[in-house]
Amino acid sequence: DSGVTQTPKHLITATGQRVTLRCSPRSGDLSVYWYQQSLDQGLQFLIQYYNGEERAKGNILERFSAQQFPDLHSELNLSSLELGDSALYFCASSVEVGTQYFGPGTRLLVL
């Protein structure tokens, strides 16, 4: 157990819908990262927050957004969902460079 928690574990929804994925980092970790893992693209970095502020952005679609709250938990919002958004979404947290610890992931299926 990495200490990073993610909810829900599984999510099934329809195209055009909006969902929110939640992540709680390890105690004391100020950075939260979101990654998407699909069969054809592998693990791709989406976005990073550090102590409530956006720090880095990767290949995140405009339909996706994220935020980190004062208690350091983070939410990833996915809207206008498409079939191709079906993937595993991971949250990771760290206190310093290099040591990112991943949560168990949320498996999203868009039908």
The residue ranges that bind other proteins (CB under 8 A) are: 2, 4, 31, 33, 35, 42-45, 48, 55-56, 58, 88, 90, 92, 94, 97-105, 107
Select 29 or 85, whichever has its Cβ closest to other proteins.
29
End-to-end CA distance of the chain: 31
Rounded to a whole number of angstroms, the minimum distance from the CB of residue 16 to other proteins is 27
Nearest distance, CB of residue 98 and other proteins, angstroms: 4
Q: Is 22 exposed, middle or buried (0-12, 13-18, 19+ CB in 10 A)?
A: middle
In the complex, the smallest distance separating the C-beta of residue 105 from other proteins, rounded to whole angstroms, is 5
Q: Which is nearer to other proteins, 38 or 79 (CB)?
A: 38
Residues in the chain: 111
